[in-house]
Amino acid sequence: MSNSFTVLSVSALGGFAGASGCLCTYGDPCWPDAATFAQLESQVSQPLIYPIPTASACYPASNPSGNCSEVIQNWTDGNWRSSIPGSMDAPNFESFVFKNGTISACYLNTSLGVPCEQGSVPVIGVDARTPADIQAAVNFAIQYNLKLVVKNTGHDFLGRSAARGAFVVWTHNMKNITYDATFAPQGAPSNETYEAVVTLGAGVQWYEAYYAVNQYGRMMVGGITPGGSIGAAGGWLQGGGHSVLSPTYGLGVDNAIEITVVTPTGEYLTVNDYQYSDLFWALRGGGGGTYGVVTSVTYRTYESLPVASYFFQANVTNTTTVNGLAARMLQLQTNLTDDGWGGYGYLSNISMSFVAIAPNMSTEAANTSIQPWTEYVQSQDISSVAEILPIPSWYEWYSGLFNTSGGNGLNLMITTRLLSRNTTANQSKEIAELLIDCGGQFIMIAGGKVSQIDPASAGVNPAWRNAVVEAGCGVSWDEGASSTTIEGMISQLKAWTSSLHDIVPNDGAYFNEASLFEVDWQTTFFGSHYSQLKAIKDKYDPHRLFVVAEGVGSEEWNKELTCRS
């Protein structure tokens, strides 16, 4: 698809889901014409955007329309991808599979001989720079009953940032960062203030946020990915927001003080514990793309501290030994995370590795904390490497390991499960076997402080408060794979999802790192909070404008999330 926009006739349908009970998408008779979109463009600060798939510049293959070398060079760079309105972190969410098995996509490998097509990339939208831009976009979507999606960086394992034929609000360029030595939430008593907070615009990414607060000698709870490309004030927070610092300082939702949001009725609200407290509660863990468009978040920050860093690597030839290693590590998760360790571990049938940090922990204390694991490893006949290093600051640790972008641009789907204290104590062997089978990982991002916070304090799944670790599996495939091949991979993912659910049916899962094929997703992602979240959703979104895969209220829609079921 070129940057020109095809003009179609329009029948302006307002109101909830149109006369047919369906949202309007590109190609429908109700889709606004060029003159109508021009009126919208006159109301916003930037020209409208016409997103195209990431690889579009490489087509036509005989005479590329853009800089294909740039695309090839940056394909795996998350920060580069996030700067493109039509690019998703996982390209499979740019594609669209029809019911007959044909695929609409745009592949980097032009030698496949497949034409570049729009797939699930939205066709037009607003490059939002201000809350007023978002208000204009939301009001336009309401007036013309458009299928609306919200995109920031495109880091999304459920494909919520894209939809075929949709209208998009792109928040990536809302980059304001404000540091306040003293901050008073709107509506709060005069004696309630917070010291050293930072307010991040919706488009700020973690590498930008970490750098900014480090200039003030501060650190903050946030996401980690190579290059720090994940958005810091969007879906990460609205799904819950975990971090390697969470065992010491809590989840992202526990560190948010105030949020500004454009609601599905076009209102611009500042929400916190004192005003619109129900919406503030829901936005902290009730799922992104559901209650409105967040424009900024104000977070706590913490004094920058040194960290103890622990690295472990073992390569073995015996699957039974790996099983034992993995099971023992899972059993120790409660003690380790309660001591403040956070980190990432990876498993295969011949290896195990992980890296972890603990803020403000001396080398001596780190050795003592890790001693039960050290003793177990020494009792096994394996070759391993283990090292504890003091690092002067958390930021130095982060920037040393994650300053290079990479690992993005893969066709990928995942499934995860939060593991409770009871599970890691009593079912570590079954979980370990499954993780080794899937070549999975375990992430140390709960326990400790996360477990000490009242489950009712935020809308995030209460299962987080009893969790100590997240376990996950994933599948990936080469571009150009047939729908039959992809379905085979998805069948494997479904089997792992089902197995994880069967082993720990009550432990829940993290909405931001999730399977599209989860068993009983309402309970798995939102637990006992679901009914309350649904009531808040209905209150603030009377038009049912915001709907995303497995998000609150999505059970009322068809598979494509375009028509009420």
Are residues 295 and 167 in contact, defined by beta-carbon separation less than 8 angstroms? no
Structure tokens at 197: 């907070």
CA distances from 102 to 98, 121, 478 (A): 5, 16, 16
Give pLDDT, residue 405. 80
Residue of 28, 140, 127, 26 lying closest to 543 (CA atoms): 140
CB-based contact 247:445 (threshold 8 Å): yes
Output the CA–CA distances (angstroms, integers) from residue 294 to 123, 235, 268, in the order listed: 22, 9, 10
Residue in the block written with tokens 């100590």 = 468
**For residue 8, what pLDDT is reported?**
27
Angle between helices 428-438 and 319-331 (to 10 degrees): 130
pLDDT at 355: 96
Report DSSP state, residue 463. Answer: G
Predicted confidence (pLDDT) per residue in 187-205, tens digit: 999 999 999 999 999 999 9
Q: In the prediction, which pLDDT does 6 show? A: 28
Q: List, for residues 537-557, the tens digit of each pLDDT value.
A: 999 999 999 999 999 999 999
Start-to-end CA distance of the chain, whole Å, equals 31
The answer to whether 177-303 and 307-391+409-519 have equal CATH topology is no
Would you tell me how many other CB atoms lie within 10 Å of the CB of residue 130? Answer: 16
The two tokens of residue 335 are 């003690």
Structure tokens at 115: 């034409």
Q: Rounded to an integer, what distance in angstroms lies between the CA atom of residue 483 and that of residue 98?
A: 9
- Quote the tokens at residue 148: 């609306």
Separation of alpha carbons 342 and 122, rounded Å: 37
Cα–Cα distance, 330 to 424 (Å, whole number): 5
* CB distance 285 to 463 below 8 Å: no
**Separation CA 171–CA 46 (nearest Å):** 12
Question: Which pair of tokens denotes residue 473?
Answer: 């599996």
Position 169, amino acid: V
Give per-residue pLDDT as tens, 133-151.
Answer: 999 999 999 999 999 999 9
564 φ/ψ angles, rounded to the nearest 5 degrees: -65, 135
Q: Given this model, what pLDDT does residue 9 score?
A: 25
In the three-class reduction of DSSP (H, G, I as helix; E, B as strand; rest coil), residue 410 is classed as coil
Work out whether the CA dihedral 502, 503, 504, 509 comes out positive or negative: negative
Biggest CA pair distance of the chain: 74
Give the tokens for residue 145: 């009953």
How far apart (Å, rounded) are the C-alpha atoms in residues 301 and 452? 19
Are 279 and 258 in contact, with CB atoms under 8 Å apart? Answer: no
- Token pair for residue 224? 């980690």
From first to last of its 565 residues, what are the pLDDT tens digits of the chain? 333 332 222 223 334 454 469 999 999 999 999 999 999 999 999 999 999 999 999 999 999 999 999 999 999 999 999 999 999 999 999 999 999 999 999 999 999 999 999 999 999 999 999 999 999 999 999 999 999 999 999 999 999 999 999 999 999 999 999 999 999 999 999 999 999 999 999 999 999 999 999 999 999 999 999 999 999 999 999 999 999 999 999 999 999 999 999 999 999 999 999 999 999 999 999 999 999 999 999 999 999 999 999 999 998 888 888 999 999 999 999 999 999 999 999 999 899 999 999 999 999 999 999 999 999 999 998 999 999 999 999 999 999 999 888 889 999 999 999 999 999 999 999 999 999 999 999 999 999 999 999 999 999 999 999 999 999 999 999 999 999 999 999 999 999 999 999 999 999 999 999 999 999 999 999 999 999 999 999 999 999 999 999 999 999 999 999 999 8
The amino acid at 549: A
Handedness of CA 136, 142, 148, 151 (dihedral sign): positive
Provide the total of helices (H) and of strands (E) in the chain, helices listed first: 18, 19
Q: Rounded CA gap, 553 and 547, in Å? A: 7
CA distance 343 to 29: 51
* CA nearest to 289, candidates 557, 469, 553, 91: 553
Which residue from 238, 268, 257, 255 is spatially nearest to 135, judged by alpha carbons?
268
The model carries a pTM of 0.95
Measured between alpha carbons, how far is residue 197 from residues 178, 241, 451 in Å? 8, 17, 23
Those residues whose C-beta lies under 8 Å from the C-beta of residue 296, and which sit 6 or more positions away, are 174, 176, 199, 200, 201, 202, 233, 259, 260
How far apart, in whole angstroms, are the C-alpha atoms of residue 528 and residue 535? 13
CATH topology of domain 177-303: 3.30.465
Which of 181, 260, 183 has its CA nearest to residue 218?
Answer: 181
Instruction: Please list, in sequence order, all residues whose beta carbon lies within 8 angstroms of the beta carbon of residue 375, skipping any fewer than 6 positions away.
Output: none
pLDDT at res. 251: 98
Classify domain 307-391+409-519 at the CATH topology level: Vanillyl-alcohol Oxidase; Chain A, domain 3 (3.40.462)
- Could you state, in order of their start, the residue ranges of all structural domains in the chain? 177-303, 307-391+409-519
Going by C-alpha positions, the residue among 385, 403, 350, 29 that lies closest to residue 211 is 403
